[in-house]
Amino acid sequence: MTSWQVMVRARRGELDLDVAFEGDAQPIALVGPNGSGKTSVLRAIAGVFALRDARITVGDTILEDTSSGVRVPIEERRIGYVPQGFALFPHLTVLENVEFGLSTGKNRLPPAERSRRALQMLSDLNCASLARRSVEHLSGGEKQRIALARSLVLEPGLLLLDEPLAALDATLRRTLRKFLAERLRIFRGPSITVTHDVRDVAALGAQVVALENGRVVQQGPLSLIQQRPANEFLAEFVGAD
């Protein structure tokens, strides 16, 4: 079972980020009001910006430890990142998007093997038929799957999803929530999902980590948040009064 821990102190504009939490293979749902630092936490873990004080480990690997001067660069962290809006590469086809991670750096494979794996991943996610399409004309749901395929094909040590269901309409969201929960179960690696919807937390069977103003204000199973929400936001979030 993969355990991981995150301790991050950093300044991001107005936000003074100071968080510490850890987990295992059970999904984590990162919740909190806008500006509470959710996206910043994901980016800190991914290694996007310099951190004042941090210790980030996944399994036996130390990704960042400011006390001993360790900082693995973003391209070597094996962190899967699906940002809001998915950020598919618009100049590449679906297949080329999924192949990208297999075409550079340490995961570089010969072209034939690259295609084989990317196609396999696409067919696992039921979208092999999209392989030759340009990503620009895909539906929201298709984009979500392709973005997921693009990170999962590298078998990341930790998967970060920033509001993966936010851009979708209500009906589609229900279908894709189920799909996402199922994919995360198959993936079996640890994941952190930023969400604004308590139904995502329930569907993913996730532990909740709640942020406010760059601090963790509460963490635990959804039932705990429902019984004793630590602030107004969380009370609203779980629908309690």
Partner 1 sequence: MGGSWRQSPLTGVGVLFGVTLAGLLLLPFFALAISTPASDLLEGATHPLFASALFLSLRTTLTSLSLTVVLGTPLAWWLASSSSKTARVTEALMGLPIVIPPAVVGVALLQTFGREGLLGPALGSVGIALPFTEISVVLAQIVVSAPFFIQAGASAFREVRPEMLIVAGTLGGSPPVAFLRVALPIALPGLLVGASLAWARALGEFGATLLFAGNMPGRTQTMPLAIFYALESDVRLAIVFSLVLAAVGILLLVTLRFFPALSNFMRGGNA
- Contact residues toward partner 1 (CB under 8 A) are 43, 46-48, 73-77, 79-85, 87, 89-91, 93, 100-101, 104-108, 132-134, 136-137, 150-151, 154, 156
Between residues 86 and 237, which has the closer beta carbon with respect to partner 1? 86
**3 and 158 Cβ atoms separated by less than 8 Å:** no
Q: What is the residue-wise DSSP string for 92-158? A: SBHHHHHHGGGSSGGG---HHHHHHHHHHHHHHTT-GGGTTSBGGG--HHHHHHHHHHHHHTT--SE
We find the least distance from the C-beta atom of residue 87 to partner 1, in angstroms, to be: 4
Between residues 81 and 237, which has the closer beta carbon with respect to partner 1? 81
We find the least distance from the C-beta atom of residue 13 to partner 1, in angstroms, to be: 10
Between residues 75 and 236, which has the closer beta carbon with respect to partner 1? 75
We find the least distance from the C-beta atom of residue 101 to partner 1, in angstroms, to be: 4
Between residues 151 and 195, which has the closer beta carbon with respect to partner 1? 151
Residue 36 φ then ψ, to 5°: -85, -10
β strands within the chain, DSSP E: 4-12, 15-23, 28-31, 53-58, 61-65, 70-71, 79-82, 158-162, 191-194, 207-212, 215-221
C-alpha 40/C-alpha 23 separation (Å) is 18
Write the burial class of residue 72 (CB in 10 Å: 0-12 exposed, 13-18 middle, 19+ buried).
middle
Between residues 150 and 183, which has the closer beta carbon with respect to partner 1? 150
We find the least distance from the C-beta atom of residue 88 to partner 1, in angstroms, to be: 8
We find the least distance from the C-beta atom of residue 18 to partner 1, in angstroms, to be: 22
Between residues 102 and 208, which has the closer beta carbon with respect to partner 1? 102
C-alpha 116/C-alpha 14 separation (Å) is 46
We find the least distance from the C-beta atom of residue 210 to partner 1, in angstroms, to be: 24
